[in-house]
Amino acid sequence: MATYKLTYFDFSGSRGEECRLALFLNDVDFEDNRIAVARWPELKATTPFGALPVLEVTGKPPLAQTNAILSFIGRQFGYHPTDPWEAARHEALFVAVEEYRSAVAVTGNTDDEARKKQRREAFVRDFLQSWAGNVEQQIAGPFVAGDALHLADLKIYMVMGALLSGTYEHIEPDVLDGFPKVKTVTQAVAEHPKVRQWRNR
């Protein structure tokens, strides 16, 4: 019988957490391998692309790249469309979330508060507004595909949940007020019984 091991840093957020949640949603019994940041330099070169998360499955080489891991979990176990076109539409949202992550990450790469504020204001004006507008168009409501939760919803929740909880200084959660479907999908995932169970475990 195959075993599953998901390796990521020891915190409950971002790319590793969404893979953990995808496995948990599907009731996959997996080893939740959380590594200390201090161990990362020694492990980095052993990973396929020098980054985490990495999923290990018995009999296969390690699998990296969050979206590939999510697509595998979704196809193998569930919470991903079985129709190839609809699956690709959901995978486009996976990529959109990664584009969001890349754009927001660079806004924090400074100790200069004035510069950080300027970068974050520019991020909201020049990136987030159009990004959220585009994602809004993809959501039937309450979830991307209507009434059923999928991994694409989980991925939107991971980034928008962090934004709405005020994670980023100089970005007010009300920036999403013009995007009710993005807010609703985030709230609907947070309230899903399995997501609550994972958070409260």
Distance of alpha carbon 130 from alpha carbon 123, whole angstroms: 10
Which residue, 39 or 60, has its beta carbon nearer to ligand GSH? 39
Pairing of strands 54-57, 63-64: antiparallel
Shortest CB 52 distance to ligand GSH, Å: 4
Query: Do residues 71 and 94 lie in contact, with contact meaning Cβ atoms separated by under 8 Å?
Result: yes
Shortest CB 113 distance to ligand GSH, Å: 24
Shortest CB 69 distance to ligand GSH, Å: 7
Pairing of strands 63-64, 30-35: unpaired
95: which DSSP letter? H
Of 103, 148, 91, the C-alpha closest to 127 is 103
Binding residues for ligand GSH, rule: CB under 6 A, are: 14-15, 44, 51-52, 65-67, 98
Query: Do residues 100 and 107 lie in contact, with contact meaning Cβ atoms separated by under 8 Å?
Result: no
Which residue, 32 or 136, has its beta carbon nearer to ligand GSH? 32
Of 53, 56, 49, 67, the C-alpha closest to 8 is 53
Which residue, 67 or 186, has its beta carbon nearer to ligand GSH? 67
Query: Do residues 32 and 21 lie in contact, with contact meaning Cβ atoms separated by under 8 Å?
Result: no
Q: Which two tokens stand for residue 123?
A: 């991020």
Which residue, 159 or 171, has its beta carbon nearer to ligand GSH? 159
Which residue, 103 or 188, has its beta carbon nearer to ligand GSH? 103
Distance of alpha carbon 130 from alpha carbon 28, whole angstroms: 36
Shortest CB 53 distance to ligand GSH, Å: 6
Which residue, 63 or 188, has its beta carbon nearer to ligand GSH? 63
Shortest CB 49 distance to ligand GSH, Å: 7
Shortest CB 13 distance to ligand GSH, Å: 9
